[in-house]
Amino acid sequence: MWPRWPGSPVSDPIQAIVVASANGRVGLPAATEILAAGGSATDAVIAATRLVEADPGDRSVGYAGLPNILGEVELDASIMEGRGLRAGAVGGLQGYQDAIDLARAVMDRLPHAFVAGDGTRRLAQELGYDGRDLLDPETERIWREGLSSEGITDGVADGSARSLDQVMQMVTRLSADPERTHEMYGLGETPDEPPHGTVNVLARDRQGNMASAVSTSGWAWKYPGRLGDSPVIGAGNYCDNRWGAAACTGRGEMAFRCATAHSVVMFLRFGYTLEDAVTQALRDMEALDDPFASEVNIVALAADGTHFAGSTVENRTYVWQSPGMTEPDERPRRVVPLTFQPGRSV
Protein backbone atom coordinates (compact mmCIF):
# COMPACT_ATOMS: atom_id res chain seq x y z
CA MET A 1 0.00 0.00 0.00
CA TRP A 2 1.55 3.31 -1.06
CA PRO A 3 0.76 6.28 1.13
CA ARG A 4 -0.32 9.46 -0.67
CA TRP A 5 2.27 12.19 -0.84
CA PRO A 6 1.86 14.07 2.41
CA GLY A 7 2.21 17.73 1.70
CA SER A 8 -1.12 17.92 -0.04
CA PRO A 9 -3.54 20.20 1.84
CA VAL A 10 -4.07 19.07 5.43
CA SER A 11 -6.73 20.22 7.83
CA ASP A 12 -4.76 20.11 11.08
CA PRO A 13 -1.49 21.99 11.51
CA ILE A 14 1.52 19.69 11.48
CA GLN A 15 4.28 20.28 13.99
CA ALA A 16 7.24 21.76 12.13
CA ILE A 17 10.75 20.67 13.12
CA VAL A 18 14.36 21.02 12.06
CA VAL A 19 17.09 18.50 12.94
CA ALA A 20 20.84 18.86 12.32
CA SER A 21 24.29 17.53 13.02
CA ALA A 22 25.75 19.30 16.08
CA ASN A 23 27.59 21.90 13.96
CA GLY A 24 24.22 22.93 12.49
CA ARG A 25 23.25 24.58 15.80
CA VAL A 26 24.23 28.01 14.51
CA GLY A 27 21.56 27.75 11.81
CA LEU A 28 18.62 26.27 13.70
CA PRO A 29 17.03 29.44 15.12
CA ALA A 30 16.84 30.96 11.62
CA ALA A 31 15.38 27.77 10.20
CA THR A 32 12.85 27.54 13.04
CA GLU A 33 11.75 31.13 12.44
CA ILE A 34 11.02 30.30 8.81
CA LEU A 35 9.04 27.21 9.79
CA ALA A 36 7.13 29.11 12.51
CA ALA A 37 6.05 31.68 9.93
CA GLY A 38 4.67 28.89 7.72
CA GLY A 39 7.70 28.81 5.41
CA SER A 40 8.84 25.75 3.54
CA ALA A 41 11.15 23.01 4.74
CA THR A 42 13.35 23.79 1.73
CA ASP A 43 13.77 27.44 2.72
CA ALA A 44 14.45 26.37 6.31
CA VAL A 45 17.24 23.89 5.53
CA ILE A 46 18.83 26.32 3.05
CA ALA A 47 18.81 29.17 5.61
CA ALA A 48 20.41 27.00 8.29
CA THR A 49 23.05 25.56 5.95
CA ARG A 50 24.01 29.00 4.61
CA LEU A 51 24.88 30.16 8.12
CA VAL A 52 27.18 27.18 8.63
CA GLU A 53 28.81 27.80 5.24
CA ALA A 54 29.51 31.41 6.27
CA ASP A 55 30.91 30.45 9.70
CA PRO A 56 34.74 30.73 9.68
CA GLY A 57 34.83 28.67 12.89
CA ASP A 58 33.62 25.56 11.02
CA ARG A 59 36.54 24.14 9.08
CA SER A 60 34.52 21.37 7.49
CA VAL A 61 31.94 23.44 5.58
CA GLY A 62 31.92 26.47 3.27
CA TYR A 63 34.21 29.44 3.88
CA ALA A 64 37.39 28.42 5.73
CA GLY A 65 36.76 24.74 5.03
CA LEU A 66 39.96 22.71 4.95
CA PRO A 67 41.41 22.34 1.44
CA ASN A 68 42.58 19.50 -0.77
CA ILE A 69 46.20 18.36 -0.98
CA LEU A 70 47.01 21.35 -3.24
CA GLY A 71 45.55 23.89 -0.82
CA GLU A 72 42.38 24.47 -2.87
CA VAL A 73 39.07 24.56 -0.98
CA GLU A 74 36.54 22.40 -2.89
CA LEU A 75 32.94 22.42 -1.67
CA ASP A 76 30.21 19.80 -2.18
CA ALA A 77 26.52 20.16 -1.32
CA SER A 78 23.13 18.67 -2.03
CA ILE A 79 19.47 19.36 -1.36
CA MET A 80 16.51 17.04 -1.66
CA GLU A 81 12.78 17.67 -1.31
CA GLY A 82 10.53 14.94 0.01
CA ARG A 83 7.61 15.91 -2.23
CA GLY A 84 8.27 14.64 -5.73
CA LEU A 85 11.85 13.58 -4.88
CA ARG A 86 13.32 16.75 -6.39
CA ALA A 87 17.07 17.10 -5.89
CA GLY A 88 20.09 19.19 -6.80
CA ALA A 89 23.79 18.90 -6.07
CA VAL A 90 27.14 20.55 -6.75
CA GLY A 91 30.58 19.00 -6.43
CA GLY A 92 34.06 20.51 -6.37
CA LEU A 93 32.94 24.15 -6.19
CA GLN A 94 35.88 26.56 -5.89
CA GLY A 95 35.90 30.31 -5.27
CA TYR A 96 32.34 30.66 -3.93
CA GLN A 97 31.01 29.73 -0.49
CA ASP A 98 27.38 29.35 -1.63
CA ALA A 99 27.38 25.60 -2.24
CA ILE A 100 23.88 24.90 -0.91
CA ASP A 101 22.33 27.81 -2.86
CA LEU A 102 23.93 26.48 -6.02
CA ALA A 103 22.66 22.97 -5.29
CA ARG A 104 19.18 24.49 -5.06
CA ALA A 105 19.74 26.33 -8.32
CA VAL A 106 20.61 23.02 -10.00
CA MET A 107 17.32 21.63 -8.66
CA ASP A 108 15.16 24.65 -9.50
CA ARG A 109 16.73 26.14 -12.61
CA LEU A 110 18.33 23.32 -14.57
CA PRO A 111 16.98 20.07 -15.99
CA HIS A 112 19.76 18.31 -14.05
CA ALA A 113 20.39 16.93 -10.59
CA PHE A 114 24.20 17.22 -10.29
CA VAL A 115 26.76 19.75 -11.60
CA ALA A 116 30.46 19.32 -10.80
CA GLY A 117 33.78 21.07 -11.36
CA ASP A 118 34.09 24.13 -13.62
CA GLY A 119 30.34 24.18 -14.29
CA THR A 120 29.69 25.07 -10.65
CA ARG A 121 31.80 28.21 -10.97
CA ARG A 122 30.03 29.13 -14.18
CA LEU A 123 26.67 28.67 -12.48
CA ALA A 124 27.72 30.88 -9.56
CA GLN A 125 28.91 33.57 -11.98
CA GLU A 126 25.74 33.44 -14.08
CA LEU A 127 23.59 33.75 -10.96
CA GLY A 128 25.61 36.73 -9.71
CA TYR A 129 27.12 35.28 -6.53
CA ASP A 130 30.17 37.07 -5.14
CA GLY A 131 33.39 35.13 -5.50
CA ARG A 132 35.60 34.74 -2.44
CA ASP A 133 38.97 33.28 -1.51
CA LEU A 134 37.72 30.45 0.71
CA LEU A 135 41.08 29.74 2.34
CA ASP A 136 41.39 31.88 5.47
CA PRO A 137 44.84 32.32 7.10
CA GLU A 138 44.16 29.93 10.01
CA THR A 139 42.89 27.19 7.69
CA GLU A 140 45.90 27.64 5.45
CA ARG A 141 48.16 27.32 8.50
CA ILE A 142 46.47 24.03 9.49
CA TRP A 143 46.81 22.70 5.93
CA ARG A 144 50.51 23.62 5.73
CA GLU A 145 51.33 22.28 9.18
CA GLY A 146 49.57 19.01 8.40
CA LEU A 147 51.75 18.57 5.33
CA SER A 148 55.00 19.58 6.97
CA SER A 149 54.35 17.39 10.03
CA GLU A 150 54.33 14.49 7.57
CA GLY A 151 57.53 15.74 5.95
CA ILE A 152 55.66 16.74 2.79
CA THR A 153 57.34 19.90 1.58
CA ASP A 154 58.79 19.27 -1.88
CA GLY A 155 56.58 20.45 -4.68
CA VAL A 156 53.87 21.82 -2.37
CA ALA A 157 54.43 25.46 -3.21
CA ASP A 158 54.23 24.97 -6.97
CA GLY A 159 51.88 21.97 -6.96
CA SER A 160 54.41 19.80 -8.80
CA ALA A 161 54.58 17.03 -6.19
CA ARG A 162 52.86 13.71 -6.74
CA SER A 163 49.49 14.25 -5.08
CA LEU A 164 48.76 10.55 -5.41
CA ASP A 165 51.52 9.64 -2.97
CA GLN A 166 50.88 12.60 -0.68
CA VAL A 167 47.19 11.82 -0.29
CA MET A 168 47.99 8.20 0.60
CA GLN A 169 50.57 9.35 3.13
CA MET A 170 48.12 11.77 4.76
CA VAL A 171 45.17 9.40 4.81
CA THR A 172 47.29 6.60 6.22
CA ARG A 173 48.36 8.86 9.06
CA LEU A 174 44.89 10.30 9.67
CA SER A 175 43.10 6.97 9.77
CA ALA A 176 45.76 5.38 11.96
CA ASP A 177 45.70 8.10 14.59
CA PRO A 178 42.31 9.80 15.15
CA GLU A 179 43.55 11.83 18.12
CA ARG A 180 46.35 13.28 16.07
CA THR A 181 43.78 14.04 13.39
CA HIS A 182 41.70 16.11 15.79
CA GLU A 183 44.80 18.00 16.81
CA MET A 184 45.75 18.63 13.19
CA TYR A 185 42.28 19.94 12.40
CA GLY A 186 42.57 22.39 15.28
CA LEU A 187 39.45 20.87 16.83
CA GLY A 188 40.73 20.47 20.37
CA GLU A 189 40.39 17.43 22.59
CA THR A 190 36.63 16.88 22.56
CA PRO A 191 35.35 17.92 19.17
CA ASP A 192 31.59 17.99 18.68
CA GLU A 193 31.91 16.69 15.20
CA PRO A 194 34.22 14.20 13.54
CA PRO A 195 37.32 15.37 11.70
CA HIS A 196 35.58 14.84 8.37
CA GLY A 197 32.99 17.40 9.49
CA THR A 198 30.11 18.26 7.14
CA VAL A 199 26.71 19.68 8.10
CA ASN A 200 23.32 17.89 7.81
CA VAL A 201 20.02 19.78 8.14
CA LEU A 202 16.62 18.03 7.82
CA ALA A 203 13.22 19.70 8.22
CA ARG A 204 9.49 19.14 8.06
CA ASP A 205 7.23 22.14 7.56
CA ARG A 206 3.63 22.80 8.58
CA GLN A 207 2.37 21.44 5.27
CA GLY A 208 4.08 18.11 6.01
CA ASN A 209 6.71 18.64 3.34
CA MET A 210 10.25 17.57 4.14
CA ALA A 211 13.67 18.68 2.87
CA SER A 212 17.26 17.71 3.58
CA ALA A 213 20.48 19.64 2.97
CA VAL A 214 24.12 18.61 3.24
CA SER A 215 27.19 20.80 2.74
CA THR A 216 30.89 20.09 3.19
CA SER A 217 34.44 20.94 2.22
CA GLY A 218 35.06 17.18 2.30
CA TRP A 219 38.22 15.52 3.45
CA ALA A 220 41.12 17.79 4.20
CA TRP A 221 44.19 16.95 2.12
CA LYS A 222 41.96 14.98 -0.30
CA TYR A 223 42.95 14.26 -3.89
CA PRO A 224 41.88 17.16 -6.12
CA GLY A 225 38.43 16.52 -7.50
CA ARG A 226 37.52 13.89 -4.90
CA LEU A 227 33.79 13.83 -4.22
CA GLY A 228 32.41 12.29 -1.06
CA ASP A 229 28.91 11.21 -0.11
CA SER A 230 27.56 14.71 0.62
CA PRO A 231 26.59 15.74 -2.93
CA VAL A 232 25.51 12.24 -3.92
CA ILE A 233 21.77 11.75 -3.58
CA GLY A 234 21.20 8.42 -1.85
CA ALA A 235 24.65 8.30 -0.27
CA GLY A 236 24.93 11.34 2.04
CA ASN A 237 21.40 12.69 1.60
CA TYR A 238 17.94 11.32 0.94
CA CYS A 239 14.41 12.57 1.58
CA ASP A 240 10.93 11.23 0.85
CA ASN A 241 7.79 12.79 2.39
CA ARG A 242 6.18 9.37 2.64
CA TRP A 243 8.77 7.89 5.00
CA GLY A 244 11.38 10.37 6.10
CA ALA A 245 14.80 11.88 5.55
CA ALA A 246 18.36 10.92 6.45
CA ALA A 247 21.81 12.44 6.00
CA CYS A 248 25.37 11.49 6.87
CA THR A 249 28.62 12.92 8.12
CA GLY A 250 31.94 11.15 8.53
CA ARG A 251 34.00 9.13 6.08
CA GLY A 252 32.06 9.74 2.90
CA GLU A 253 33.51 6.82 0.99
CA MET A 254 31.72 4.45 3.37
CA ALA A 255 28.30 6.09 3.06
CA PHE A 256 28.89 6.37 -0.68
CA ARG A 257 29.55 2.64 -1.09
CA CYS A 258 26.60 1.61 1.11
CA ALA A 259 24.08 4.19 -0.22
CA THR A 260 23.49 4.89 3.45
CA ALA A 261 20.97 7.76 3.46
CA HIS A 262 18.78 5.92 0.96
CA SER A 263 19.06 2.74 3.04
CA VAL A 264 17.66 4.48 6.12
CA VAL A 265 14.62 5.71 4.19
CA MET A 266 14.12 2.31 2.54
CA PHE A 267 14.28 0.57 5.91
CA LEU A 268 11.55 2.94 7.13
CA ARG A 269 9.51 2.08 4.07
CA PHE A 270 9.87 -1.60 4.86
CA GLY A 271 8.50 -1.06 8.37
CA TYR A 272 11.61 -0.65 10.52
CA THR A 273 11.38 1.74 13.45
CA LEU A 274 13.45 4.90 13.05
CA GLU A 275 15.99 3.60 15.59
CA ASP A 276 16.32 0.25 13.81
CA ALA A 277 16.56 1.89 10.38
CA VAL A 278 19.52 4.05 11.46
CA THR A 279 21.18 1.20 13.35
CA GLN A 280 20.86 -1.22 10.43
CA ALA A 281 22.22 1.33 7.96
CA LEU A 282 25.31 1.77 10.16
CA ARG A 283 25.72 -2.00 10.64
CA ASP A 284 25.59 -2.49 6.86
CA MET A 285 29.03 -0.87 6.77
CA GLU A 286 30.56 -3.92 8.41
CA ALA A 287 30.54 -5.49 4.93
CA LEU A 288 33.05 -2.92 3.69
CA ASP A 289 36.59 -3.95 3.05
CA ASP A 290 38.18 -0.58 3.75
CA PRO A 291 41.67 -0.08 5.20
CA PHE A 292 40.80 3.52 6.03
CA ALA A 293 37.42 2.84 7.65
CA SER A 294 36.60 5.44 10.26
CA GLU A 295 33.53 7.03 11.75
CA VAL A 296 30.18 7.57 10.09
CA ASN A 297 27.21 9.43 11.59
CA ILE A 298 23.56 9.56 10.53
CA VAL A 299 20.76 11.97 11.45
CA ALA A 300 17.22 10.96 10.55
CA LEU A 301 13.76 12.52 10.66
CA ALA A 302 10.69 10.36 10.11
CA ALA A 303 7.63 11.61 8.25
CA ASP A 304 5.78 11.74 11.59
CA GLY A 305 8.32 14.25 12.96
CA THR A 306 10.21 11.88 15.25
CA HIS A 307 13.99 12.10 15.04
CA PHE A 308 17.01 9.98 15.88
CA ALA A 309 20.74 9.90 15.20
CA GLY A 310 23.47 7.29 15.31
CA SER A 311 27.24 7.20 15.17
CA THR A 312 29.87 4.51 14.93
CA VAL A 313 31.83 6.27 17.70
CA GLU A 314 31.08 7.66 21.15
CA ASN A 315 30.42 11.25 22.24
CA ARG A 316 28.61 12.45 19.13
CA THR A 317 25.47 14.54 19.42
CA TYR A 318 22.84 16.15 17.21
CA VAL A 319 20.47 19.10 17.63
CA TRP A 320 16.81 19.81 16.88
CA GLN A 321 14.37 22.67 17.30
CA SER A 322 10.64 23.30 16.75
CA PRO A 323 8.65 26.54 16.73
CA GLY A 324 8.01 27.58 20.32
CA MET A 325 11.49 26.50 21.50
CA THR A 326 13.83 29.40 22.24
CA GLU A 327 16.97 27.43 21.39
CA PRO A 328 18.02 24.06 19.95
CA ASP A 329 18.00 20.97 22.12
CA GLU A 330 21.07 18.73 21.96
CA ARG A 331 20.73 14.94 22.11
CA PRO A 332 23.25 12.10 22.21
CA ARG A 333 23.53 9.80 19.22
CA ARG A 334 23.15 6.05 19.62
CA VAL A 335 26.57 4.41 19.35
CA VAL A 336 26.74 1.54 16.87
CA PRO A 337 30.34 0.35 16.99
CA LEU A 338 31.43 -1.41 13.83
CA THR A 339 33.30 -4.69 13.92
CA PHE A 340 35.48 -4.90 10.87
CA GLN A 341 37.38 -7.97 9.85
CA PRO A 342 40.30 -6.55 7.88
CA GLY A 343 40.65 -8.04 4.47
CA ARG A 344 37.18 -9.55 4.55
CA SER A 345 34.85 -9.04 1.65
CA VAL A 346 31.32 -10.31 1.36
- Please state the closest distance from residue 235 (CB atom) to ligand GLY, in A: 9
By CB under 6 A, residue 249 contacts ligand GLY: yes
- Please state the closest distance from residue 67 (CB atom) to ligand GLY, in A: 13
- Taking the C-alpha atoms of residue 269 and residue 265, their distance in angstroms, rounded to an integer, is 6
Selecting among 32, 198, 249, 279, the annotated active-site residue is 198
By CB under 6 A, residue 231 contacts ligand GLY: no
Of 43, 109, 118, 115, whose CA–CA distance to 78 is shortest?
115
Alpha helices in the chain (DSSP H): 28-36, 41-54, 99-109, 118-126, 137-149, 163-176, 178-184, 252-258, 260-269, 274-283
Considering only 95, 250, 310, 328, the residue that binds ligand GLY (CB under 6 A) is 250
Interface mask toward ligand GLY for 191-220; x: CB under 6 A: -----x-x-----------------x-xx-
By CB under 6 A, residue 316 contacts ligand GLY: no
Considering only 193, 229, 240, 284, the residue that binds ligand GLY (CB under 6 A) is 229
Residue 322 · residue 32 · CB < 8 Å: yes
- Taking the C-alpha atoms of residue 164 and residue 47, their distance in angstroms, rounded to an integer, is 37
Helices 28-36 and 41-54, interaxial angle, to 10°? 160
Residue 217 · residue 73 · CB < 8 Å: yes
Only one of the segments 77-85, 127-135, 159-167, 248-256 lies at the binding site for ligand GLY (rule: CB under 6 A); that segment is 248-256
Which CB atom, from 196 or from 204, has the smaller least distance to ligand GLY? 196
End-to-end CA distance of the chain: 33
The verdict on whether 198 is a catalytic residue reads yes
Considering only 6, 195, 252, 310, the residue that binds ligand GLY (CB under 6 A) is 252
Collapse the DSSP code of 140 into the 3-class scheme (helix H, G, I; strand E, B; otherwise coil) and give the result.
helix
Which CB atom, from 91 or from 119, has the smaller least distance to ligand GLY? 91
Supply the DSSP string of 80-97, one letter for each residue. EESSTT-EEEEEEE-S-S
Judged by CB under 6 A, the chain residues 79 through 108 that form the site for ligand GLY are none
Which CB atom, from 43 or from 229, has the smaller least distance to ligand GLY? 229
By CB under 6 A, residue 297 contacts ligand GLY: no
Number of residues that bind ligand GLY (CB under 6 A): 13
- Please state the closest distance from residue 333 (CB atom) to ligand GLY, in A: 15
- Taking the C-alpha atoms of residue 205 and residue 14, their distance in angstroms, rounded to an integer, is 7
Distances from the Cα of 252 to the Cα of 128, 229, 332, angstroms: 30, 5, 21
- Please state the closest distance from residue 249 (CB atom) to ligand GLY, in A: 5
Alpha-carbon torsion 29, 320, 75, 152, what sign?
Answer: positive
Which CB atom, from 68 or from 198, has the smaller least distance to ligand GLY? 198
Count of alpha carbons within 13 angstroms of residue 289, beta-carbon side: 4
Only one of the segments 108-116, 166-174, 250-258, 280-288 lies at the binding site for ligand GLY (rule: CB under 6 A); that segment is 250-258
- Taking the C-alpha atoms of residue 32 and residue 21, their distance in angstroms, rounded to an integer, is 15
- Please state the closest distance from residue 81 (CB atom) to ligand GLY, in A: 21
- Please state the closest distance from residue 234 (CB atom) to ligand GLY, in A: 14
Which CB atom, from 65 or from 88, has the smaller least distance to ligand GLY? 65
- Which positions are annotated as active-site residues? 198
Positions touching ligand GLY (CB under 6 A) are: 196, 198, 216, 218-219, 228-230, 236, 249-252
